[in-house]
Amino acid sequence: MKDIDERIQEIQAEIRKTPYHKATEHYIGRLKAKIAKLREEKLNQDFKVKGSGGAGYAIKKTGDASVVLVGPPSVGKSTLLNRLTKADSKVGIYDFTTLGVIPGMLEYKGAKIQIFDVPGIISGAASGKGRGKEVLAVAKSADLIIIMVDVKSLAKIPAIVAELESAGVRLNEKKPQVSIVKRVSGGIKVNSTTALKLSYQTIKSLAAEFRLSNAEIIIKEDISLDRLVDAFMGNRAYLPYLVVINKSDLGIPNFKKYLPSQAESILISAESGENLEDLKEKLWLKLGLIRVYLKKAGKVDYQEPLIVKQGRDLNWILAKTTIPGKENFKSAKIFGLGAKYPGQEVSLTFLPQEGTVVQFLS
């Protein structure tokens, strides 16, 4: 019996030899769906065999956001973690010094940002090599991924990106604007709010491949075949990322040729501390965090800001506070950034900005 890797390779070969056009689109779509499901099956098999993480992989997320350091062995991840946080990650010159996940907490602008140092990722991690499956599982649960290399391992950046992609991590991508609502009857109905290049036959064919016989599929973007497969899979992680290039003091060659298009990068020296303050600010911006201040009894608490992700409204913020009687608040007054004038009254659907002062009203 053929193993999963062999079946995937055969399907990939079939895709390569099949010309892509409207008549074959639905067939290629089903083949891509089969590959996605086989990769997921292999991932689940590996975890059943190896366990769902093992020692050091029972991750408890705390703080306002989480970041995972992903990269090849011996590029300085442990050194960087120790410089940014109060973690005590073992530092050595040998490959695979880090054998489990080591968390540290970066405190910046009032936020607590948890940073995980994981074992060095190697080519083939998504196929089970080394402890790649566990590393990738931790990466999928983060809010931001740092791909860390040094000046000697720049050429590994594309392979790391490919490993993350194989594990279901979509870097710097937004989640597909697709809703799939299962029904008890009525067959497959497709509704779109924009013109689609994909045919309805292709969409319905994919639904059949994922064993959906009754569902309403609502599409709000001109979606590609690959992104539609991801939407049907429903377990992809859509995460921002930053490429950190360490040991800049050794001299940097033409590193940009190794970066994916639109990838953001920063040069640092974890050993000397060069550019670490700039790195902290980049983390803050990539995580999309803002500070919101509460005004109570006429006073603003500037010492303990509420750390909020951009796009959260006052309803969300209120739910996270411990203000007595908060269930009675119906609106709020805002001051500073975001306010048209001091004391502007707004509904609880208002989206605050960095530095907005909020006074909730009953």
Q: What is the pLDDT of residues 3-37, one digit of tens each?
A: 888 899 999 999 999 999 989 999 999 999 999 99
Answer for the pair 120, 72: CB distance below 8 angstroms, yes or no.
Answer: yes
Structure tokens at 190: 């497709």
Instruction: Let me know how long the chain is.
Output: 362
Every domain of the chain with CATH number 3.40.50.300 lies at 65-171+241-287
Res. 262 pLDDT band, cuts 50 70 90: confident
Candidate CATH numbers 3.40.50.2000, 3.40.190.10, 3.10.20.30, 3.30.70.141; the one for domain 289-361: 3.10.20.30
| Residue that is written with structure tokens 């990722």 in the block | 121
Q: Are 135 and 119 in contact (CB under 8 A)?
A: yes
The predicted-structure confidence for 62-106, as pLDDT tens digits, reads as follows: 889 999 988 888 888 889 998 998 766 555 544 444 446 778 899
Which of the four pLDDT bands, split at 50, 70 and 90, describes residue 45? low
Q: Comparing 5-19, 58-72, 153-167, 282-296, which segment has the lowest mean pLDDT?
A: 58-72
**CA 9, CA 2: separation in Å to the nearest integer?**
11
| pLDDT above 70 coverage of the chain, percent | 84
Taking the mean position of all CA atoms in its chain, how far away is CA 114? 14
Stretch(es) of the chain classified as CATH 3.10.20.30: 289-361
For domain 65-171+241-287, which CATH number applies: 3.40.50.300, 2.30.40.10, 3.40.50.410, 1.25.40.20? 3.40.50.300
Helices marked H in the chain: 4-17, 22-50, 77-84, 132-140, 157-166, 200-209, 225-233, 276-287, 314-320
pTM, 2 dp: 0.82
* Residues 337, 34: Cα–Cα separation, whole Å: 50
What are 294's two structure tokens?
Answer: 């509460």
